[in-house]
């Protein structure tokens, strides 16, 4: 595949903060398309998928917007599946992280893929374990077959990933029950302590080694995995995150693997940002993941 397809998903229903629906525009204004075509890719941007506007969904609020999120994830799934079938590498521009239920489902429709999930959080809550009820904190659990059946069964019935297909990097903020669930799951997660002690290069190489049973890699990049001092434009900040340099190194090592086939860029909230800095950094990280190098 030498074509990249950009897919906007202005979904903000998985959490409470307004503004994350503006993420796709922020990435476009930061020059994502031009940056990738400058690397030699054919890039097409299919615009934004249809997402219901929160302001007209009053009655769904009690249900945490579950019906609408399910519907959007179905649409994202089909867009991801079509992109892969047509030989494109999709980049899903969020939107909040609940979108990944559709994107990762869609790109694994025909063939399995491994996933590197960069995040401060585990997104491993179920409706029972979640203290907030926000569905963006349940996305990974749904992909592994747990939680709302409406989300587990998006696109095709059941889990979309095996425990061994997924690696979390950047963890530092887990809810009490979520922490227990994650430990019991057997999912490999690298915490900030791991990164501090061992360095990002060692962790990136080890993570890719653990995922070597798959020939295709999806990166799910939640910008809150980075340090909020560097990327202030996110809704659920946690201090002490991945530095810009560490994130660049991770993306460059991912590029070296030659396995990257699809990506999510989620949780950018331009309203909370300084002059679109977060989207600009996201564009640079995406370029590195797709092969940009300094020299």
Query: Given strand 260-266, what is the order of strands in its sheet?
Result: 42-48, 3-9, 88-94, 260-266, 217-222, 114-118, 166-171, 188-191
Q: Is 172 an interacting residue with respect to ligand LYS (CB under 6 A)?
A: no
44 has which bridge partners? 5
Note the helical H segments in 190-276: 192-198, 200-210, 244-257
109 is catalytic: no
CB of 269 to ligand LYS, least distance (A): 11
Q: Distance between CA 46 and CA 57 in Å, rounded? A: 26
136 is catalytic: yes
165 is catalytic: no
Sites for ligand LYS among residues 236-265 (CB under 6 A): 236
Stretch of residues binding ligand LYS (CB under 6 A), selected from 78-86, 128-136, 152-160, 200-208? 128-136
Q: Among residues 132, 153, 164, 257, which is the contact residue for ligand LYS, using CB under 6 A?
A: 132
**If DSSP states are collapsed to H, E and C, what string results for 131-198?**
CCCCHHHHHHHHHCCCCCHHHHCCCCCCCCCCHHHEEEEEECCCCHHHHHHHHHHCCEEEEHHHHHHH
Q: Among residues 130, 220, 269, 278, which is the contact residue for ligand LYS, using CB under 6 A?
A: 130
Sites for ligand LYS among residues 64-123 (CB under 6 A): 97, 121, 123
121 is catalytic: yes
Judged by beta carbon, residue 30 or residue 174, the one nearer ligand LYS is 174
264 is catalytic: no
48 has which bridge partners? 8
Structure tokens belonging to residue 154? 């998006």
Q: Distance between CA 130 and CA 236 in Å, rounded? A: 15
Stretch of residues binding ligand LYS (CB under 6 A), selected from 19-27, 43-51, 124-132, 195-203? 124-132
Which of 2, 211, 29, 243 has the alpha carbon at shortest distance from 115?
211
Q: Is 21 an interacting residue with respect to ligand LYS (CB under 6 A)?
A: no
119 is catalytic: yes
Q: Is 134 an interacting residue with respect to ligand LYS (CB under 6 A)?
A: yes
222 is catalytic: yes
Active site residue ranges: 97, 119, 121, 123, 136, 222, 224, 267
**Chain positions contacting ligand LYS, by CB under 6 A:** 97, 121, 123, 125, 130, 132, 134, 136-137, 175, 222, 224, 236, 267
């Amino acid at each position: 595949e030498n074509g990249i397809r950009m897919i906007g998903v202005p979904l903000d229903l998985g959490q409470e903060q307004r503004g994350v629906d503006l993420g796709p525009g922020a990435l476009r204004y930061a020059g994502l398309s031009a940056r990738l075509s400058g690397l030699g890719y054919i890039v097409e941007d299919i615009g934004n998928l249809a997402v219901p506007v929160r302001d007209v969904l009053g009655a769904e609020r009690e249900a945490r917007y579950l019906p609408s999120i399910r519907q959007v994830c179905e649409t994202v799934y089909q867009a991801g599946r079509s992109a892969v079938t047509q030989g494109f590498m999709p980049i899903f521009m969020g939107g909040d992280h609940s979108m990944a239920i559709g994107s990762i489902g869609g790109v694994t429709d025909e063939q399995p893929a491994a996933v590197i999930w960069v995040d401060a959080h585990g997104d491993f809550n179920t409706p029972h374990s979640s203290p907030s009820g926000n569905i963006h904190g349940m996305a990974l659990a749904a992909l592994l077959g747990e939680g709302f059946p409406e989300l587990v069964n998006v696109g095709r019935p059941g889990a979309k990933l095996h425990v061994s297909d997924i690696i979390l990097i950047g963890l530092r903020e887990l809810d009490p029950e979520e922490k227990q669930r994650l430990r019991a799951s057997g999912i490999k997660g690298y915490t900030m302590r791991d990164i501090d002690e061992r360095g990002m290069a060692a962790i990136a190489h080890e993570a890719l080694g653990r995922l070597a049973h798959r020939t295709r890699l999806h990166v799910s990049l939640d910008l809150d995995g980075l340090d909020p001092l560097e990327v202030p434009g996110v809704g659920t900040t946690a201090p002490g995150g991945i530095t810009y340099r560490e994130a660049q190194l991770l993306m460059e090592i991912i590029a070296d693997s030659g396995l990257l086939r699809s990506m999510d860029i989620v949780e950018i909230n331009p309203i909370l940002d300084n002059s679109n800095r977060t989207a600009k950094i996201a564009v640079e990280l995406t370029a590195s993941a797709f092969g940009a190098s300094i020299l």
